[in-house]
Amino acid sequence: MDPATFLAALVAMAAPLVLAALGETLTEKAGVVNLSLDGTILLGAMTGFVVASVTQSLLLGFLAAGLTGCLVAALVAVIGVWLGQSQVAVGFALTFLCRDLAYFLGNPYARQQGPQLATLPVPLLADLPFFGTVFFTHSFIVYLSFLATPCCIYFLYHTRHGLTLRAAGENPEGCWARGIDPNTVRFLATLAGGAMAGLAGAAFSLAVKPGWGHPQGCEGIGWIALALVIFGSWHPLRVAAGAYFFGLLQLLGIAFQDSFPGIPGQIFQVAPFPLMIFTLILIHLSRNTKNRYFAGFVRLFGSPPPRGLGRPYRRP
Amino acid sequence: MIELANISKNFGKVQALQGVSLSAEAGSIHGIVGENGAGKSTLMKILTGFTSRSGGEILCRGKKISLDRPSDAMRFGIGMLYQEPLDFPQLSVLENFMAGEAAFAPGQARADLARLAAAFGFVFHPDNRVETLTVGERQQLELLRLIHGGARLLILDEPTTGISERQQEQLFAALRRLKADGAAILLVSHKLEEIDSLCDTVTVLRHGRVAAAMRCPFDRQALLQAMFDSLPERLSPPQTATGKEPVVEFDRVVVTVGRAGLHEATITVRTGEVVGLAGMDGSGQAVFLKIAGGFLPPESGQIRRFGRTLPNGCGCSRDVAFLPADRLAEGLLPGMTLREHHILAARGHIFLSAATGLAGSRRAIDDFNIKGHPETTAEELSGGNQQRLLLSLIPDEVRLILMENPTRGLDVQSADWTWQQLHRRKAEDGAIIFASPDLEEIMAQATRVVVFYDGRIILDTPTAATDYHEISRAITGEAGTTGPSDEVGRSGLLPD
């Protein structure tokens, strides 16, 4: 495989993961953990495929998937933010509920031919040598994943609402004292993150791994997205980099299977999890180290989580 | 500018404020003083919309306004500096300065911050994270933010606790300047020095009511009398059978946790003593108890218990007991029964049956008069009974008992009973150290009084050799005659 095709496959494959992980980053930056990600993605994949099949409209399929993600996130937010109950508990329950719901409701449409997102080569740019193939010969959802990272960074660090969102995740009491209702901010951030996870699901069933079945092929991606948010330590750039890194590992796994059949492919599948634990240890070490260079090095790769992460806020 | 009329607030059955009225004028500094729990903070939180009021009216320039949330207060130009800065430690100085503002203009905000900081003589690096700043600097930043946000009424809650001398001077200069510019300032403080040097008018709160309102110049004696309850002249003086053997020794102990921390505390408590720690909340008493208990290592200095230096300055042992102020959260296991508490305290049980610990808990229920049965959970008990349960759990070998607010939430009879038990428990070779906001309790139960002010021991005297006025003066920052005056040296403002 030539390098350009390899990289093009990589960015296409990583697209849904980038969307889901960035969505979760937004949610967690506001202080909410949406643990239902894996189920949300699967339910989004099913809804997107079914709606697109029935209506023969890909746009409606994506919209429906995003809306589904929103609805699941809304449940997490109502219980975990407004009612102040455990976000972990509700997210965990919803993960499994959504997964089984997706298999049950999607069963009549399993293994059927459905619509599939066509590639949209960008005029002129697609003809560029190398870069044209890598970046400009994809479907619209891949372009969306390219835009998502800079958009996220711009939103979080260069807009008022982004600052408000980070403030809500950092210290909700401080937000309230400044006239911002942290729970509204958190609610909206959770909805936005959920919508992106739903879109990620449709990106699987309508583009990356087209079709619906049991299994669909995107199972487990939600957990990896959650791990990536920690691995990228809550910064969109690092999170996105982590998503592409994971895509690379997966592709290498496939490539190595042919040349080195001795290495099991699963090694690459589970790589994000030990890396995530490694990041946590690194963050811990950077806090206790007296070596400035080491601390600076670690800060490049990691920063502490939002102070208010997972802690519900109740009005005094 | 802002007028409060007949404000009242109750938390459940507790009446925190009752018919409080005061007004803050533009171009003047108004002091609010009062003891712990007098209702100062509650009143200020009502004014910022942080908590809602139960009754009364708030008038802004003669018009009735409703303050249901902080955004309402901001609209009317009310801004508050909280005692613990409510900021965002992991965000940058500039981001903290901008958070909550209607417009998003980092360039403009950076320029405004630089201009305001220069005007007040503060120094900020806009891109540093707030967690790297001192409390004083965080406060300066909050002050600038409020001014930038258009606050015309500034509320400051104990602003000088835990900040350096220089920062205090800078703050006072800033406040005088703001006053000259026509801002109204409400200063909540227990330091009469500050009130004297800054305020034009002062309102004294006591038990949620206005006890006095005065204009500058203030009569110190009248202020003190209004702040503290008057006491019966002399309560039955406790026995002062001080032994020779040291129980706890502090040698120039320094810590910087909490707002005030502890500055070079040196004190020796000997066997037979009952030491009462007085002072406003957060002046260092709680930190002192934590260090004495071995829960918090000192940053410098030495601590010895029963003649032994603690390894790393930390460590619990079976001969020390600590009864925290928050009994349910720190002292007991809320969902566990009395019997289970006694099983845990007794140690040694490995396999449990329905009868394990039953005899022990029955005996404790009888001996300590706990209103409950062995299968009652700790959270089902009333405050007084929780304290009885804690007392019953103290092992026999304990020689040092440390307590925060030992009789908080107890009725008079339970409090008396608790102290009887404590005095009985305190063997000849043991000691009790307790912190209490209730001076009457300290005068009645302690053989020795230690007053904390801003993290320093400002007064240390046998109870018999002091009186109520000396203690209340020390609490508000004036060293008494018997105190280690060389250590404080900031008094002398009181006209004798």
Average pLDDT, chain A: 89
Residue A315 lies inside a defined structural domain of this protein: no
Give the nearest partner residue to B100 out of A159, A170, A179, using CB atoms.
A179
Whether residue A69 contacts residue A201, with contact meaning beta carbons closer than 8 Å, is answered with yes
Report the alpha-carbon distance of residue B145 to residue B115 in Å, rounded. 12
**pLDDT confidence band for B236 (50 / 70 / 90):** low
pLDDT of residue B444: 87
Report yes or no: A307 at the B interface, CB cutoff 8 Å: yes
What residues 149-188 of chain A have any CB closer than 8 A to a CB of chain B?
Answer: 158-160, 163-164, 166-167, 170-171, 173-181
Tens-digit pLDDT profile for residues B43-68 = 998 998 888 888 888 998 888 888 88
CB atoms within 10 A of CB B413: 9
Within 8 A of B50 by CB-CB distance, chain A residues are 176-177, 316
Distant-in-sequence, close-in-space partners of B238: CB < 8 Å, separation ≥ 6: B274, B423, B444, B445, B446, B447, B463
Nearest alpha carbon to residue A194 among A48, A65, A88, A103:
A65
Q: What is the pLDDT of residues B271-302, one digit of tens each?
A: 888 999 998 877 888 899 988 988 888 888 88
Give the model's pLDDT for residue B487: 39
Taking the C-alpha atoms of residue A140 and residue A148, their distance in angstroms, rounded to an integer, is 12
| Alpha-carbon span B267 to B270, nearest angstrom | 10
Q: How many CB atoms lie within 10 A of CB B254?
A: 14
Query: Which residues lie below 8 Å from residue B402, measured CB to CB, with a gap of 6+?
Result: B289, B292, B293, B320, B321, B322, B323, B432, B433, B434
* Among candidates B95, B100, B106 on the partner chain, residue whose Cβ is nearest the Cβ of A178: B100
Mean pLDDT of B371-381: 86
Residue A42 within a domain: yes
Q: Which two tokens stand for residue A263?
A: 């290495």
Is position A8 within any domain? yes
- Give the model's pLDDT for residue B490: 35
User: What ipTM is given for this predicted complex?
Assistant: 0.84
Helix axes A182-203, A37-55, angle to 10 degrees: 60
CATH homologous superfamily, domain B2-227: P-loop containing nucleotide triphosphate hydrolases (3.40.50.300)
Residue range B231-319+398-496, CATH number: 3.40.50.300
Nearest CA in chain A to B107: A158
Q: Could you tell me if B368 and B376 are in contact, meaning their C-beta atoms sit under 8 angstroms apart? A: no
Give the gap in angstroms from C-alpha B115 to the nearest C-alpha of chain A. Answer: 22
CA gap B255, A217 in Å, rounded: 57
Q: In terms of residue numbers, what domain contains A288? A: 3-301
- In the A/B pair of chains, how many CB contacts fall below 8 A? 68
DSSP per-residue letters across B35-83: -TTSSHHHHHHHHTTSS--SEEEEEETTEEE---SHHHHHHTTEEEE-S
Query: Would you kindly state where each structural domain of chain B is located, as residue ranges?
Result: 2-227, 231-319+398-496, 340-396
Model pTM above 0.90: no
Q: How far is B284 from chain A (nearest CA, A)?
A: 25
- Does the residue A115 lie in any domain? yes
Question: Contact B99/A177, CB-based, under 8 Å?
Answer: no
d(CA A72, CA B456): 55
At position B481, the amino acid (one-letter code) is T
The shortest CB-CB distance from A159 to any of B87, B91, B104 is to B104
Average pLDDT of span B397-415: 82
Model pLDDT, residue B464: 84
Cα end-to-end distance, chain B, whole Å? 37
DSSP classification of residue B92: B
Our CA-based measurement puts residue B34 at a distance from the nearest CA of chain A, in whole angstroms, of: 23
pLDDT tens track for A75-88: 999 999 999 999 99
Q: What is the pLDDT of residue B437?
A: 82
Does residue B429 register a pLDDT over 60?
A: yes
Which range has the top average pLDDT, B108-112, B194-198, B259-263, B319-323? B108-112
Strand, coil or helix: B273? coil
Is the pLDDT confidence value at B492 over 50? no
Which of B71, B99, B106 is opposite residue A167, by nearest beta carbon?
Answer: B99
Q: How many domains does chain A have?
A: 1
A48 band by pLDDT with thresholds 50, 70 and 90 = very high
